[in-house]
Chain A
Amino acid sequence: MARIIGGIGTSHAPSIAHAYDKGSQAEPVWQPLFDGYGPAKEWLKRTAPDLMIVFYNDHMNRFFFDAYPTFAIGVGDTHKLADEGWGRRDFPDLAGDSDFAWHVARSLVADEFDPTICQEISIDHGILSVLPLLWDAPWPAPILPFAVNVIQHPLPTARRCWRLGEAIGRAVASYPKDMKVVVVGTGGLSHQLHGTRFGFMNAEWDNEFLDLIERDPEKLVGLSHHDYMARGGAESVEMIMWLAMRAALTPQVRRVHRNYWGPLITGYGLVVYENQE
């Protein structure tokens, strides 16, 4: 049977991709971020998962407001990289596992979650900004991308994301093939990218979030979008995608790693958890 071995929560940001592509990894303002991914990369190398499920959001690259899905699942065998408006990054496309992904889609719908099922999906910085910090290309395993609307309100609630993660857990557990799966949630932490509140960050709240998601996630599940936006800035509402990751794991987890660095306009967070059998 397939089983989830652990999870990763990580920020995603164009700035991370930009710093990476410019070779800024050793600059003082970026080093604490990039070095912070070392233990996560090491853990993935050691545990060698057969597949990665990633909860992320599309930043207006695959989807537009002509028809914007609340939830969308990529079920193809390949996921192309997006041109976000400044050219495609120089990395290989991602592989998918179509059999597994269709199983997850069937299981979710039977479980009363109804994602838009995408045989073609393109991947933007919601996944790709951090993927090279976790894995070396060529990518060692397929990815199942799961997009969540955190952009156009009304958004799914924090609790809905939690329940989605639980349903993903059941979907993995019912897949007959022996597979080790890692679940990733991307986004946040505090940031606001528009208006006169541009640049709003809240390191204290970010760290409280990192405490709670590990030990007492129910406190986060009960918060409204307004609570998230007030505490962490309008765009930080992405943090609800970490809840889907956490819900797919065991109630108690072993923390492998945690990092936080917020030098510019985004509180960059990272956690790695192992399931407790």
Chain B
Amino acid sequence: MPTDTLIEITYLVATALFILSLKWLSSPTTARHGVWAGEIGMALAIGGTLLYQGIVDYKLVAIGLVLGCIIGVPLGKVAMTAVPQRTALSHAFGALCVTLVGTSEFYLRAPNISPFMMAVLSMEVILGSLTFTGSLMAAGKLQEVLPQRPITYKGQNFVNLGMLALAIAIAVILCLHPEQMKLFPAMIIIPLIFGVMLVIPIGGADMPTVISLLNSYAGLSAAAMGFVLNSKLLIIAGALDGSSGFILSVIMSKAMNRSFTNVLFGGFGQIQAAAAGVQEQRPVKSATAEEAAAILSAASKVVIVPGYGMAVAQAQHKVRELFDSLTKRGIDVTFGIHPVAGRMPGHMNVLLAEADIPYDKLLDMDAINGDMAQTDVALVIGANDVTNPAARTDASSPIFGMPILDVDKARTVMVIKRSMAAGFAGIDNPLYYLDQTLMLFGDAKNFVGNIVRELSGGDGHH
């Protein structure tokens, strides 16, 4: 069999394995098979490529592969709390690879490039370079080496759209006149700056949407690279990644009742300024760990609502102890997970799974909201805006219309919170002033730990 055919067959099998890989990921029981299928497909495709007769320099390839492994292994072993920034970083790496390959292809082929080829190549490098810097910015914000607060200035959208338009204009010129090779660097540099400017106005709570969107761009740029190289395997892998990122972006935007454009161009800056003016002091009821433990032990159904604050306080292992202690008393404990809780899609599920909480106790918003009225205690840990009933009732609220976890329908609501300071978006939460709400002031990890201690101390009373 000719080598070329053999290579194409390895690609074909790899493609099938990639699709199966995603199919098996649909359920936790088969998900690990999905990883294996992906790994086998990847090994086949790389092995097949190495047979390619045009390869004369195996040394560089080997250096690249070995260095990649050396960098990749620690990136695969980061702590679960660091997964959002790791994911953003890997989007940056993927986009970097695509941009570099696109750049090389341009200089190898120009000026003999057809308009269509130049169009996809432009799409590849524009999407690739803006995803590269955008993802680096997102990773920096998530790692907190960059300021997390959104930075906005007057005319921001005008500047951003202007830059994007300029990059596209250059792409159009290059399509018509590919011999204008000196324009090409500008088509990379402008999107590189655009990527930075795009993420500057985006705050922490919008990160799940932005990471998903960057994921989608990374996939699309890889698919464009597939068109340039005429590689079906790459087109399919890029399309799968692109649609995955797109679906997640849609889910995240819906969960915040915002459009893509609103996330990208809206910013939350204006809202903060508006909300800061109407701070008023209203009475809240607070409770101690002992009282909280007494209420919890008298309950028969408890729903725990975790948010990013739980991740910040590293409270997930204490939450697991609480879960154990309540479950042992025969209390039904489930978790209500809002789609945008945390800093990336599914963030809370991974943290709670790491703490050994069985995944069948982790319910998404639609599954848990129906049970809320039969719930004795809803315990909110480090979540704020996703529990704000104003989203349902107050048409003037900036988050009006956003689907929320209806914790206010539970008989008792307990909220663990550091202080009465407003949440990320600076929006006051009427939940805290309800009759059935008790505020538990303190650090999430310590407070949950204290409740667990009270519960185990109180065993004799039953």
To the question of whether A and B form a pair in one complex, the answer is no
* Residues of chain B whose beta carbon lies under 8 Å from any beta carbon of chain A: none
* Residues of chain A whose beta carbon lies under 8 Å from any beta carbon of chain B: none
